[in-house]
Amino acid sequence: MEIIDQLNHYGKNRIPFLFILDFELRFCHCIALSGITSDSILYFVNGFTNSGGAPRCAQVSMTRHPVSYAEYLSAYRKVMDALNRGDTYLLNLTFPTKIETNATLKDLFFLSTAKYKLWFNDAFVVFSPEPFIRINDRTISSYPMKGTIDAAVQNAEHVLLNDEKEFAEHVTIVDLIRNDLSKVAKDVTVTRFRYVERIKTSQKDLLQVSSEITGRLDAGYNESIGDIIVSMLPAGSVTGAPKTKTVEIINRVENYKRGYYTGIFGYFDGRNLDSGVMIRFIENTGDGYVYKSGGGITVYSDPAKEYRELIDKIYVPVV
Helix (H) or strand (E) run with residue 242 in it: none
Does any domain span residue 225? yes
Q: Give the domain range for residue 34.
A: 2-54+63-312
Q: What distances in angstroms separate CA 274 from CA 69, 93, 112, 116, 136, one per listed residue?
A: 37, 26, 19, 9, 8
Does any domain span residue 317? no
Beta-bridge mates of residue 240: 91
**Number of structural domains the chain divides into:** 1
Which CATH number fits the domain that encloses residue 211? 3.60.120.10
Report the share of the chain in percent with pLDDT over 70.
99
Mean pLDDT estimate for the chain: 93
pLDDT on residue 56: 77
Please check the confidence at residue 202 and state whether its pLDDT lies above 70. Answer: no
CB count, 10 Å around CB of 270?
Answer: 14
Q: Encode pLDDT of 50-103 as tens digits.
A: 987 777 777 889 999 999 999 999 999 999 999 999 999 999 999 999 999 999
Does any domain span residue 318? no
Q: Summarize the confidence of residues 10-19 as an average pLDDT.
A: 97
Which of 263, 165, 161, 177 shows the shortest CA–CA distance to 212?
177
- Percentages helix, strand, coil for the chain (3-state, rounded to 5) are 30, 35, 35
Q: Summarize the confidence of residues 177-191 as an average pLDDT.
A: 95
Does any domain span residue 267? yes
Please check the confidence at residue 201 and state whether its pLDDT lies above 80. Answer: no
Q: Summarize the confidence of residues 154-170 as an average pLDDT.
A: 88
Does any domain span residue 252? yes
Please check the confidence at residue 235 and state whether its pLDDT lies above 90. Answer: yes
Which of 304, 299, 291 shows the shortest CA–CA distance to 95?
291
Does any domain span residue 118? yes
Does any domain span residue 185? yes
Q: Encode pLDDT of 22-37 as tens digits.
A: 999 999 999 999 999 9
Please check the confidence at residue 176 and state whether its pLDDT lies above 70. Answer: yes
Does any domain span residue 266? yes
Q: Are 109 and 117 in contact (CB under 8 A)?
A: yes
pLDDT on residue 53: 75
